[in-house]
Amino acid sequence: MSKISSVFLAALFLSTFHASAGQTSHAVESSTLEQNKNELHECAPGPWGKLSYYYFFLEAPDHVVEQFPLPSTTTKWAFSLKDLSHIETLLKNAGMSRAQTERLLAPRRVVRDEHHVFLFPTTADVEDLTREGRALIYNELARDPANVFQYSPVFFLSDSVEEWAAESGLPASIVTKISNWAYKQGGALVFSDVPLLLSQAENVAQARFIMRKLTRVRTLMAQLEISKQDSIPDLVSYWSTGLGLRRKELEPLMNAIIHTRGISHLDILHLMPPLARKVLYTYPDLSYAVDGPLPDCHWTSLNFFNLTPQPCLLDTRLATSLLKQDFDKTEPPYRYGDVLMFIDPDGRAVHSATYLADDILFTKNGSNLLTPWVLMRLPDLSMLYDIGPGKNHIVGFRHKK
């Protein structure tokens, strides 16, 4: 790991939503405060049975985070050389004063390389930005991967940073700073001022603690309620759809549940194939790196029914070939095991996920060590990957029988 550049490590640390086919718009759905409490939410009725779920936050464990060095605490903005003439106007439109702009663009303070010009705003410069001004500058910076923290911001699946940070152990002062420096990217509330935040940590231990908390992501846990009034054959038929797997295993399990006094719920985890069951809510370890690239969304969705994962699916070109060979396009309503591809206007697959039931999907949002395999709702993923008229769109695929 020591041979990897610090910039690349920082990108790995915070590149939560880099799709294998290119950058996506990392917008998220704003949800009500009630959605984030430990309440049980009921899914819509359907052939999947009576499903309910609750939200919780998952964060990378210490042993994973410790593999990454802390990034620099110096705020740096990278602009393409071709955009040099537009920088001053951008800064002024963002509300920066003439004095701030002149100081930032003073020749002795500007650093250039072959492709970029780098500006180094002071702490006061960054803190003084309004939420709107910050959004204007940072959404421009997000176009270039050289701006690691804007290109891959921390995202919040809630209306407030406070909701995201609840019970995280983060000091109130740190939560306030994150909230004050958060901004909108599309419909999302996001955060990019990681260097500035770390510069105000009390010590290295607190800086590492903060970095671990910045990996927090909201996911959900779902359960199937089964009663003697349910048709077990129908439930088994739905949850063994796809390749007709596990029918013999699921039927006795469901029958056992309905005949056990006081027990009526089955965790959806037990309804998933072995590989998905093994990795759900976990983070990839370095053993996955022996095949080169780390597992991404396409590896995850196309290996869903495989007992042993196919390493070739780490190659986007081969994954696309397999999709064309073994899957047919399908329209809603989707069913268990369908692959939902998120396609950009140029026809590139920026993300994929496996449909389970109602609007719950199994996915991995990024090909790095700090993004886990999780369950997410389709509205959340649709906002994450900018689904909408004139933007990205979803195409469903179903495995050929």
Where is the domain boundary, 183, 213, 243? 213
H or E element in which residue 73 lies = none
Instruction: Give the tens place of pLDDT for each residue, 305-341.
Output: 998 888 888 888 888 888 889 999 999 999 999 999 9
Residue 69 domain-assigned?
no
Crossing angle, helix 232-239 and helix 247-258, to 10 degrees?
140
Indicate if 311 and 190 belong to the same structural domain. no
Residue 294 inside a domain? The answer is yes
Are 295 and 353 in the same domain?
Answer: yes
DSSP characters over 103-162: HHT-GGG-EE-SSEEEE---HHHHHT--HHHHHHHHHHHTTSTTSHHHHS-EEESSS-HH
The pLDDT score that the predictor gives to residue 38 is 63
The total number of structural domains in the chain stands at 2
Q: Would you say 55 and 36 are in contact if contact means Cβ atoms under 8 Å apart?
A: yes
Q: In what order do the strands lie in the sheet with 217-225?
A: 41-42, 50-58, 217-225, 265-267
pLDDT digits (tens, 9 = 90+) for 134-151: 999 999 999 898 999 998
Residue 132 falls inside a structural domain: yes
Kindly state whether residues 18 and 98 are assigned to the same domain: no
Mean pLDDT across 261-288: 88
Query: From the centroid of its chain, how far is CA 16?
Result: 5
Say which CATH number the domain at 15 has. 3.90.1720
Phi, psi dihedrals of residue 84, rounded to the nearest 5° = -55, -40
What is the amino acid identity at position 130?
T
Whether 330 maps to a domain, the answer reads yes
- Does residue 302 fall inside a structural domain? yes
Q: How many CA atoms lie within 13 A of 283 on its CB side?
A: 19
Residue 16's pLDDT is 38
Do 81 and 199 have their domain in common? yes
Across the range 369-386, mean pLDDT stands at: 88
Q: Are residue 14 and residue 98 in the same domain, yes or no?
A: no
Distance CA 287, CA 362 (A): 22
pLDDT for 14 beyond 50? no
On whether residue 266 sits in a domain, the answer given is no
Residues 110 and 165 in one domain: yes
Written as one letter, the residue type at 217 is V
Residue 20 sits in the same domain as residue 81: no
Domain that holds residue 149: 77-213
**Residue where a domain terminates, one of 196, 213, 230:** 213
In a domain, 68, yes or no: no
Alpha-carbon separation of residue 49 from 42, 55, 213 (angstroms):
11, 20, 36
Residue 333 CB neighbours (<10 A): 11
Same domain (yes/no): 114, 206: yes
Answer yes or no: do 83 and 209 share one domain: yes
pLDDT of 291: 62
- Tell whether 71 is covered by a domain: no
Confidence of residue 8 (pLDDT cuts 50, 70, 90): very low
Which residues are CB-contacts of 379 (< 8 A; sequence separation ≥ 6)?
29, 359
Q: Are residues 205 and 81 in the same domain?
A: yes
- 82 plus 176 within the same structural domain: yes
Decide which of 213, 234, 252 is a domain's last residue: 213
Tell me, yes or no, whether 93 and 24 share the same domain: no
At 35-89, the pLDDT tens digits run 445 689 999 999 999 999 999 999 998 888 888 889 999 999 999 998 888 999 9
Residue with tokens 């939503």: 17
